[in-house]
Amino acid sequence: MKILIRSTRLSGEPIPGSGETLQAADCLEVVELMRGQTPFTASRAPRDYMTEVLSGIEGGPTQPLPEDAAAAAAEFLTRLARHGLIEFLPDDKASDPWPERFLEALETVRLSGRTNMLDHLEVTRLTAEMGYPEVAEWLTGHRREYAAFVLDGTRPLGKNFGGKEDPAPCADK
């Protein structure tokens, strides 16, 4: 499954056209990825994390989540989608999820010596400036996959980041 987590204004209002894409095998794995994005939430139990996030969004005590962890994760994501904070996206079908000239573009940026390759935003800007707009566009929505490539040398895994072909469905509709 694939979702877009919207960036928000200080007021908590989602910013249209913004955000980060996450991919995982199922709803519970998406929640795990979300929870691990900051050191402030990474150590919390998944249920505590979901309850805290929902109470902040929905204001105070909220309707309890189902007892089953997978059902709770699906309900959590559905409620976030109702508030416009996430969007469910179609899974990519491509066997090679990055653009054709990805490696060429990154090597061009690296050889230029103009930035540290860990600086995602600057690498994205430079790929566009150096004539690789399709790579810059891909980098904009795939920060996690880029980080995995730079840090581990690993290639993003097929249809979803978890590498599984048929994730459990989770939709807000």
Q: What is the pLDDT of residue 113?
A: 94
- Find the helix or strand (DSSP H, E) in which 136 lies: helix 133-141
Write out the chain's pLDDT in tens, 173 residues: 889 898 888 888 888 767 888 888 899 999 999 998 888 999 999 999 999 999 988 887 778 999 999 999 999 999 999 998 998 887 754 444 788 899 999 999 999 999 999 999 999 999 999 999 999 999 988 888 888 888 877 655 443 334 444 444 444 33
- Residue 24 and residue 57 in one domain: yes
Rounded CA separation 132/140 (Å): 13
Last residue of a domain, one of 87, 110, 142: 87
Q: What is the pLDDT of residue 94?
A: 44
User: Domain for residue 158, yes or no?
Assistant: no
Q: What is the DSSP letter of 64?
A: P
- Residue 76 and residue 115 in one domain: no
- Residue 19 and residue 75 in one domain: yes
CB 138 within 8 A of CB 99: yes
User: Domain for residue 127, yes or no?
Assistant: yes
- Residue 82 and residue 108 in one domain: no
- Residue 1 and residue 80 in one domain: yes
Residue 111 burial (CB count, 10 A) = 8
Which structural domain, as residue segments, surrounds residue 135?
A: 99-150
User: Domain for residue 159, yes or no?
Assistant: no
User: Domain for residue 45, yes or no?
Assistant: yes
**3-state DSSP call for residue 158?**
coil
- Residue 83 and residue 113 in one domain: no
User: Domain for residue 156, yes or no?
Assistant: no
User: Number of structural domains, the chain?
Assistant: 2
User: Domain for residue 170, yes or no?
Assistant: no
- Residue 81 and residue 3 in one domain: yes
- Percentages helix, strand, coil for the chain (3-state, rounded to 5) are 45, 10, 50
- Residue 105 and residue 79 in one domain: no
Q: What is the pLDDT of residues 14-45, one digit of tens each?
A: 887 678 888 888 999 999 999 988 889 999 99
Overall size of the chain counted in residues: 173
- Residue 52 and residue 109 in one domain: no
- Residue 40 and residue 121 in one domain: no
